[in-house]
Amino acid sequence: MKNITILGSTGSIGTSTLDVIENFPDDFKVTGLTANSNVELLVQQAIKFRPEIVAITNSEKAKLVSSRLKGKKIEVVSGIEGLIKAASFEKADLVVSGIVGSAGLIPTMAAIEAGINIALANKETLVMAGGLILKEAKKRKVKIIPIDSEHNAIFQCLENIRPKFIKNIILTASGGPFLNLEKKFLKNVTPAETVKHPRWKMGAKISVDSATMMNKGFEVIEAKYLFDISFDKVKVLIHPESIVHGLVELIDGNFMAVLSRTDMRIPIQHALTYPEKKKGYLPSLDMNSIKNLSFKEPDMDRYPCLSYAYRAGITGGTMPAVLNAANETAVHSFLTNKIKFTDISRIIKTVIDKHDPVSNPRLEEILSADSWARKESEKLCF
Ligand code: NDP
Ligand code: MG
């Protein structure tokens, strides 16, 4: 029996993780759940899965959760301290890091410091503080298993491959909902059109990141840290069918790839059962029905966020954290109708151009660069 704590249990990754857990009742037990503000779903999940601890960021809402869970022997905690307590709850064998955005960094770090293995969906953690996270994980002998579908695929490809045999790692990208839209129309797309992803059903923020391809840019940085590989060996290909999730090109001309249906429960099941494998409960990919698998290089002019991510990643230090904070602020402003879709990349460029990065930053320096970038971005979001 593996004990699992889910950070961000009420989100898209969180609910998919609980679906996997529900299908393997003899293998997994839920020890902790966390949410930001969705009281109703958190309470329903707690009643169904009986964790020992639940955390909700908002302290007023925590009172409501406590009263709804009265007599159920579930500890209810709140605020960032509560989140840290749930993330580092010692009975967990694995923490699923499924909070969205920079809010995931501190609790993920807390779980690592407590020596608990991580199934990582929250890529922003590695974008902001990849160096520190990897260092701490190594020190505590913590295993980080990627849930992000591309990295999960590459992780599986690399299991028996020596690093010196790798020529390139290739992340596939769907190209998002506007892949075939003429560039001149991008400035008028609405938030509702943007979050309607053609292949994946995800939270709002990552759906916007997918449309700008900042998501892929973050994934390039994520891959650099997870697989300890230089940026010139991390490539991106647009693959609209989203069937091949990740590829590894080897020096002898062979390619390895992982193919599956576009359903996050597949990489989540892999990460939860790792290093074992369990018979899947979802329908398998019907190879016979696949008519076409196409790949093409992304046009950096159309997807400037991807090039900013490479630039920030290569610069390193506090620059990726600034990239992330500027993106988070701009995406939030776009989703609340304050700016246009095309303003997102413009704002990010202005802020990264202005930043003087600190190299080998400590956590405080990363957090201070993050708040500087938020303030700078907010000035541009109107
Ligand atoms: P969602 O928006 O669906 O869910 C986010 C979760 O985080 C919710 O449980 C939410 O709680 C919680 N949360 C939000 N803000 C805070 C905060 N300030 N403090 C604490 N908790 C918070 O996001 P996704 O599930 O789509 O994405 C989660 C992460 O996984 C992201 O980093 C994303 O990039 C990554 N990812 C997602 C994929 C997907 O298919 N969705 C695929 C690959 C990676 P509440 O519900 O109460 O607001
Ligand atoms: Mg991905």
> 122: CA distance to ligand 1 center in Å?
8
Question: Between 382 and 375, whose confidence is greater?
Answer: 375
Pocket test for ligand 1, best of 118, 195, 202, 222 (most atoms within 8 A of CB): 202
Q: Verify that 196 and 175 share a domain, yes or no.
A: yes
Q: Is the CB of 100 under 6 A from ligand 1?
A: yes
- Confidence band (pLDDT; 50, 70, 90) for 149? very high
> 150: CA distance to ligand 2 center in Å?
5
Give the count of beta carbons closer than 10 Å to the beta carbon of residue 324: 31
Pocket test for ligand 1, best of 13, 60, 148, 242 (most atoms within 8 A of CB): 13
Q: How many CA atoms lie within 13 A of 268 on its CB side?
A: 28
pLDDT at 127 over 90: yes
Q: Is the CB of 87 under 6 A from ligand 1?
A: no
Model pLDDT, residue 285: 95
Say if CB 328 and CB 208 are below 8 A apart. Answer: no
Model pLDDT, residue 320: 98
> 100: CA distance to ligand 1 center in Å?
3
pLDDT digits (tens, 9 = 90+) for 65-109: 999 999 999 999 999 999 999 999 999 999 999 999 999 999 999
Q: Verify that 7 and 136 share a domain, yes or no.
A: yes
Q: Verify that 304 and 191 share a domain, yes or no.
A: yes
Q: Verify that 112 and 194 share a domain, yes or no.
A: no
Q: Is the CB of 14 under 6 A from ligand 1?
A: yes
Give the count of beta carbons closer than 10 Å to the beta carbon of residue 196: 13
Instruction: Evaluate whether residue 281 is within a structural domain.
Output: no
pLDDT at 243 over 90: yes
> 14: CA distance to ligand 1 center in Å?
8
Instruction: Evaluate whether residue 123 is within a structural domain.
Output: yes
> 21: CA distance to ligand 2 center in Å?
21
Instruction: Evaluate whether residue 118 is within a structural domain.
Output: yes
Cα–Cα distance for residue pair 42/10, rounded to 1 Å: 6
Model pLDDT, residue 200: 79
Tokens at 160, concatenated: 């028996």
Cα–Cα distance for residue pair 367/109, rounded to 1 Å: 13
- The pTM (predicted TM-score) of the whole model is 0.97
The residue whose CA has the least distance to atom 9 of ligand 1 is 8
Q: Is the CB of 128 under 6 A from ligand 1?
A: no
| CATH assignment at residue 95 | 3.40.50.720
Mean pLDDT along residues 270-277: 97
Instruction: Evaluate whether residue 310 is within a structural domain.
Output: yes
User: Based on the structure, what is the number of domains in the chain?
Assistant: 2
Cα–Cα distance for residue pair 199/201, rounded to 1 Å: 7
Output the CA–CA distances (angstroms, integers) from residue 366 to 10, 106, 111, 118, 321, in the order listed: 27, 12, 19, 21, 6
Instruction: Evaluate whether residue 229 is within a structural domain.
Output: yes
The residue whose CA has the least distance to atom 23 of ligand 1 is 203
Model pLDDT, residue 201: 82
Q: Is the CB of 38 under 6 A from ligand 1?
A: yes
Instruction: Evaluate whether residue 304 is within a structural domain.
Output: yes
Rg of the chain over all Cα atoms, to the nearest angstrom: 20
Residue by residue, what is the 3-state secondary structure of the chain?
A: CEEEEEECCCCHHHHHHHHHHHCCCCCEEEEEEEECCCHHHHHHHHHHHCCCEEEECCHHHHHHHHHHCCCCCCEEEEHHHHHHHHHCCCCCCEEEECCCHHHHHHHHHHHHHCCCEEEECCHHHHHHHHHHHHHHHHHCCCCEEECCHHHHHHHHHHHHCCHHHEEEEEEEECCCCCCCCCHHHHHHCCHHHHCCCCCCCCCHHHHHHHHHCHHHHHHHHHHHHHCCCCHHHEEEEECCCCCEEEEEEECCCCEEEEECCCCCHHHHHHHHHCCCCCCCCCCCCCHHHCCCCCCECCCCCCCHHHHHHHHHHHHCCCHHHHHHHHHHHHHHHHHCCCCCHHHHHHHHHHHHHHCCCCCCCCHHHHHHHHHHHHHHHHHHCC
Kindly list the protein residues that place their beta carbon closer than 5 angstroms to ligand 2, a single-atom ion: 148-150
Return the closest-CA partner of residue 157 out of 222, 226, 62, 241.
Answer: 226
Mean pLDDT along residues 122-131: 98
The residue whose CA has the least distance to atom 2 of ligand 1 is 203
Q: Verify that 225 and 306 share a domain, yes or no.
A: yes
> 344: CA distance to ligand 2 center in Å?
20
Q: Verify that 177 and 298 share a domain, yes or no.
A: yes
Q: Is the CB of 264 under 6 A from ligand 1?
A: yes
> 13: CA distance to ligand 1 center in Å?
7
pLDDT digits (tens, 9 = 90+) for 14-43: 999 999 999 999 999 999 999 999 999 999
What are all long-range contacts of 234-237, with beta carbons under 8 Å and residues at least 24 apart?
234/168, 234/169, 234/171, 235/168, 235/169, 235/170, 235/171, 236/170, 236/171, 236/172, 236/173, 236/297, 236/298, 236/306, 237/170, 237/171, 237/172, 237/173, 237/295, 237/296, 237/297, 237/298
Q: Verify that 207 and 300 share a domain, yes or no.
A: yes
Q: Is the CB of 43 under 6 A from ligand 1?
A: no
Average pLDDT, the chain: 97
Return the closest-CA partner of residue 223 out of 308, 345, 134.
Answer: 134
Q: Is the CB of 84 under 6 A from ligand 1?
A: no
Q: Verify that 221 and 306 share a domain, yes or no.
A: yes
| All residues at 6 or more sequence positions from 180 whose CB lies less than 8 Å from its CB, including other chains | none
Domain assignment of residue 74, given as a range: 2-146
Q: Is the CB of 151 under 6 A from ligand 1?
A: no
Instruction: Evaluate whether residue 270 is within a structural domain.
Output: no
| CATH assignment at residue 301 | 1.10.1740.10
Is beta strand 94-97 parallel, antiparallel or unpaired with respect to 117-120?
Answer: parallel
Percent pLDDT > 70 in the chain is 100
pLDDT digits (tens, 9 = 90+) for 166-223: 999 999 999 999 999 999 999 999 999 999 887 878 999 999 999 999 999 999 999 9
Model pLDDT, residue 207: 95
Q: Verify that 305 and 190 share a domain, yes or no.
A: yes
Q: Which atom of ligand 1 is nearest to the CA of 122?
A: 32
> 149: CA distance to ligand 2 center in Å?
5
Tokens at 243, concatenated: 């069937």
For the chain, what's the residue count? 382
> 250: CA distance to ligand 1 center in Å?
34
pLDDT at 249 over 90: yes
Question: Which of 146, 169, 191 is the last residue in one of the domains?
Answer: 146
Percent pLDDT > 90 in the chain is 97
Return the closest-CA partner of residue 111 out of 134, 141, 89.
Answer: 89
Model pLDDT, residue 125: 97
Instruction: Evaluate whether residue 240 is within a structural domain.
Output: yes
Question: Which of 124, 146, 168 is the last residue in one of the domains?
Answer: 146
Q: Verify that 240 and 99 share a domain, yes or no.
A: no
Q: Verify that 133 and 216 share a domain, yes or no.
A: no
Q: Is the CB of 8 under 6 A from ligand 1?
A: yes
Question: Which of 106, 123, 146 is the last residue in one of the domains?
Answer: 146
Q: Is the peptide bond before 275 cis (omega within 30 degrees of 0)?
A: yes
Model pLDDT, residue 234: 98
Q: Verify that 104 and 198 share a domain, yes or no.
A: no
